[in-house]
Amino acid sequence: MAELPTTRAVVTDLPGPRSTELLARRNSAVSGGVGKGFPVFIERGHGAILVDIDGNQLLDLGSGIAVTSIGHGVKEVTDAISAQAANLLHTCFMVTPYEGYVAVAEALNELCPVAGPAKTVLLNSGAEAVENAVKIARSVTGRQAIAVFDHAYHGRTNLTMALTAKSMPYKHRFGPFAPEVYRAPMSYPYRDGLSGEEAAKRAISVLESQIGASNLAAVLIEPVQGEGGFIVPAKGFLPAIATWCTQNSVLFIADEIQSGFCRTGNWFALDDEGVKVDLVTTAKGIAGGMPLAAVTGRAEIMDAIHEGGLGGTYGGNPVACAAALAAISVMRRDDLAGRARTIGKAMTSILRTLSEDLPRIGEVRGRGAMVAIELVTGQDKTPDAPAAKAVANLCNQAGVIVLTCGTYGNVIRLLPPLVITDEQLHDGLTVLAGALREVLA
């Protein structure tokens, strides 16, 4: 077996010659509609390091969009996958059940920030989880309207495109979109300057005047927004919305697909303010890299759906469940939530110091190991997407994988695996700081 890599090492131009060859094959075989990102073809991974087919060792600060939070090549997970694969790959849980599905549901029922006893349905992707949460909310309340927020991202299926805010690339030319979706203003402290209470008042006034509580099945929100720019609502915003929902018998659906599973320094982002809700959607970090998603909600809500109303051929696949159980036990054993807080402090303190010299860093924000840098052109906070792209490119060229995000495309986001070592993190931040200085000076 090849030696396990622990450091960044760039040995060719990026992409290297073999990746360049494969890129040509990719371009002739794969739909042009699939995003291209950074076209280095990856062969294997260990911890926070990815090794490409040219032998470059890349430092991963993206975790495949918040999926491999426990790191790449985690033996507990790969062993669990191999053992399960040797025994059984599939039955379809609705046809004949197996224990793994039940065990994952039990773990989620215990961990998710749901008000009271919880039950779970397992699915394949984040978008599918959100679709199901909306189905459940509509069925249980007998109401149709769903409220979402500015900058929201909930997926690429027809309903979740409607729920998602940003047109290009997610919605452009893909309409018509699902009806009965309404958008409310998000708390975005850097841009609106409002307290949590003020921002909640503004949002609630839109819900009441433009939808009417009695028409509203659910409010759906990412407790820390992901694709929209790692927007952390002001303290008090989520509790105020949750209280209003309870008072008006409107269900609160928290989309924790990106923010969940230790990423923000707790099991879930809602835990920060102790908010408990009706329904929680999860995916991404849940299974260490295997596709799995879930809706976990108050037992009485989850049981109000007629038998056969929820499901799917592959939802809660046995191998994905085995991976999830192993991943969750690694997160518990190694206190990866605590590690996320430490990583977050290191990232924000270095980046905030840097921002004192670089006024085009409008804001460094985030929670735990979900950290963003919003780039602007000057005092008027005009979003600077080209700068974000240039910084990400420079980092990539140096073998550090960073992602961008944001409604305006002007945000650099950092989602390192939570097992990243202090040395690796320091190395990545040094490269990032150099790129920020080069582009923004």
Residues of this chain that interact with ligand PLZ (CB under 6 A) are 65, 125-127, 130, 153-156, 222, 226-227, 255, 257-258, 283
| CB of residue 35 to ligand PLZ, shortest distance in Å | 6
The structure tokens listed for 163 are 């729920």
Choose between 67 and 211: whose C-beta lies nearer to ligand PLZ. Answer: 67
Is 146 in contact with 183 (CB distance < 8 Å)?
no
Is 272 in contact with 264 (CB distance < 8 Å)?
yes
Is 367 in contact with 264 (CB distance < 8 Å)?
yes
Q: What gap in Å lies between CA 379 and CA 143, rounded to an integer?
A: 44
Choose between 17 and 169: whose C-beta lies nearer to ligand PLZ. Answer: 169
Closest to 343 measured CA to CA, from 127, 108, 69: 69
Closest to 291 measured CA to CA, from 411, 129, 53: 129
| CB of residue 378 to ligand PLZ, shortest distance in Å | 29
| CB of residue 135 to ligand PLZ, shortest distance in Å | 15
| CB of residue 351 to ligand PLZ, shortest distance in Å | 22
| CB of residue 279 to ligand PLZ, shortest distance in Å | 13
Choose between 120 and 424: whose C-beta lies nearer to ligand PLZ. Answer: 120
Choose between 155 and 406: whose C-beta lies nearer to ligand PLZ. Answer: 155
> For 318-371, what is the HEC assignment?
HHHHHHHHHHHHHHHHCCHHHHHHHHHHHHHHHHHHHHHHCCCEEEEEEECCEE
Closest to 339 measured CA to CA, from 140, 111, 69: 69
The amino acid occupying position 373 is I
Choose between 370 and 375: whose C-beta lies nearer to ligand PLZ. Answer: 370
Task: Output the residue with the shortest Cβ distance to ligand PLZ.
Answer: 126
The Cα angle at residue 111 between residues 66 and 134, in degrees rounded to 5: 70
Choose between 51 and 415: whose C-beta lies nearer to ligand PLZ. Answer: 415
Choose between 216 and 257: whose C-beta lies nearer to ligand PLZ. Answer: 257
Choose between 169 and 359: whose C-beta lies nearer to ligand PLZ. Answer: 169
The structure tokens listed for 349 are 């303190």
| CB of residue 256 to ligand PLZ, shortest distance in Å | 8
| CB of residue 212 to ligand PLZ, shortest distance in Å | 26
H-state helical runs in 209-310: 237-247, 299-302
| CB of residue 255 to ligand PLZ, shortest distance in Å | 5
Which CA distances in Å does 44 have to 96, 239, 327?
35, 42, 18
| CB of residue 208 to ligand PLZ, shortest distance in Å | 26
Buried b (16+ CB within 10 A) or exposed e, 154-163: bbebebbbbb
Choose between 328 and 354: whose C-beta lies nearer to ligand PLZ. Answer: 328
Beta bridge partners of 334: none
Which CA distances in Å does 121 have to 98, 133, 282, 311, 428?
14, 10, 11, 7, 38
Choose between 371 and 398: whose C-beta lies nearer to ligand PLZ. Answer: 371
Choose between 126 and 383: whose C-beta lies nearer to ligand PLZ. Answer: 126
| Burial environment of residue 295 by CB neighbours within 10 A (0 to 12, 13 to 18, 19 or more) | buried
| CB of residue 268 to ligand PLZ, shortest distance in Å | 12
The amino acid occupying position 12 is T
| CB of residue 281 to ligand PLZ, shortest distance in Å | 7
